Amino acid sequence: MTASFRETLHPGWGQTFEVGDILFELDTGHQHLLIFENPLFGRVMALDGAVQTTSRDEFVYHETLTHVPMFSHPDPKRVLIIGGGDGGILREVVKHPGLEQVTQVEIDAAVIDLCKQYFPAHSDGAFDHPKAHIVIGDGIEFVNTTDERFDIILSDSTDPMGPGEVLFTERFYQGVARCLNPGGIFAAQNGVPFLQLEEARNAHQRLGQLFADASFFMAAVPTYVGGAMALAWASDDPAIREQLSLDAVSQRYRATAMQTRYYNPAIHMAAFALPQYLQDACDQAS
């Protein structure tokens, strides 16, 4: 009989994966981590019953969360990544030629080591990039204490439960606001709003109290099921999003000669179109 893994992120409904070889499994008593092979999605990582990443579709999430804010900002030189221990966001950030430094704060060094071993293509050597500075520490403490300032801050966390819950709190968002340069952009993973609408509403309300422009952009990640994923967006300058043009994004994208598999300028512009149920939730939270 073929072994299977059933995701349990959403009560009463889930998706099932065929399990080939189990490559790694660890139950610490606080969380359960599983890495296994699947014939369709390649290597799959699950944490506490929720799929975190797969080797086949990771590029959709990582490219969208990175390049939408990076190509929206007129000149992003200093970038901060909170979480993102698999290295996928870091891999995409260092593709930008104007970048001067990217700092990544990951709370658990073992996550980086594990992903280097089992998901090497996610980081593709980015952890050793000369512009990358890796900090092993608590992301919420970092943004509330650092003297550094950043043009872009990207939060690549698990869902707002367990270890990732603090990265959706008012204190974290306050820390982000204090170390973001004027005209800077914050973007973050924010779940699938069709099934996690209250989480989106809460994030929008908290960000709206700190930033002049708070919204979301969207990405359709196959293994993050239940509809398109919402990625939070916040900036003190509404003009960044309001005045963005396809021509401007296209010119910058072509100038980098960057190779992407999901992201392109048309996807960039379309990502800000929200389904009405999410727009209504944002309006109610404002």
Give 105's contacts (C-beta < 8 A, 6+ positions apart): 80, 81, 82, 83, 135, 136, 137, 138, 139, 142
Domains of the chain, CATH where assigned? 3-54 (2.30.140.10), 58-285 (3.40.50.150)
Of 205, 273, 199, nearest to 241 by C-alpha is: 273
Report CA-CA distances (Å) from 222 to 54, 196, 280: 10, 17, 25
pLDDT value of residue 182? 97
Mean of the pLDDT values across residues 7-36?
Answer: 88
Question: In terms of pLDDT, which residue wins out, 59 or 27?
Answer: 59
Res. 1 pLDDT band, cuts 50 70 90: low
Candidate from 11-15, 160-164, 199-203, 214-218 with smallest mean pLDDT? 160-164
Q: Residue 286: how many CA atoms within 13 Å on its side-chain side? A: 11
Q: Residue 125: how many CA atoms within 13 Å on its side-chain side? A: 3
Res. 161 pLDDT band, cuts 50 70 90: low
Phi, psi angle pair for 174, to nearest 5°:
-60, -40
Of 183, 191, 246, nearest to 211 by C-alpha is: 183
Q: What confidence tens digit (pLDDT) does each residue in 190-220 have?
A: 999 999 999 999 999 999 999 999 999 999 9
pLDDT value of residue 157? 86
Question: Angle CA(151)–CA(58)–CA(225) in degrees, nearest 5?
Answer: 105
Of 286, 74, 94, 105, nearest to 182 by C-alpha is: 74
Phi, psi angle pair for 86, to nearest 5°:
-75, -15
- In angstroms, rounded to a whole number, what is the distance separating the alpha carbons of residues 116 and 111? 9
- In angstroms, rounded to a whole number, what is the distance separating the alpha carbons of residues 128 and 132? 7
Within a 10 A sphere around the Cβ of 199, how many other Cβ atoms? 18
- In angstroms, rounded to a whole number, what is the distance separating the alpha carbons of residues 42 and 97? 31
Decide if 95 contacts 89 (C-beta within 8 A): no
pLDDT value of residue 19? 97
Q: Is 211 helix (H, G, I), strand (E, B) or coil?
A: coil
Q: What confidence tens digit (pLDDT) does each residue in 137-146 have?
A: 999 999 999 9
Within a 10 A sphere around the Cβ of 271, how many other Cβ atoms? 20
Mean of the pLDDT values across residues 100-117?
Answer: 94
Give CB contacts under 8 A, 24+ apart, made by 174-177.
174/144, 174/210, 175/140, 175/142, 175/143, 175/144, 176/143, 176/210, 176/234, 177/210, 177/211, 177/236
> Is 213 marked active-site?
no
pTM summary value: 0.95
Decide if 104 contacts 78 (C-beta within 8 A): no
Among 151, 156, 213, 280, the one annotated catalytic: 156
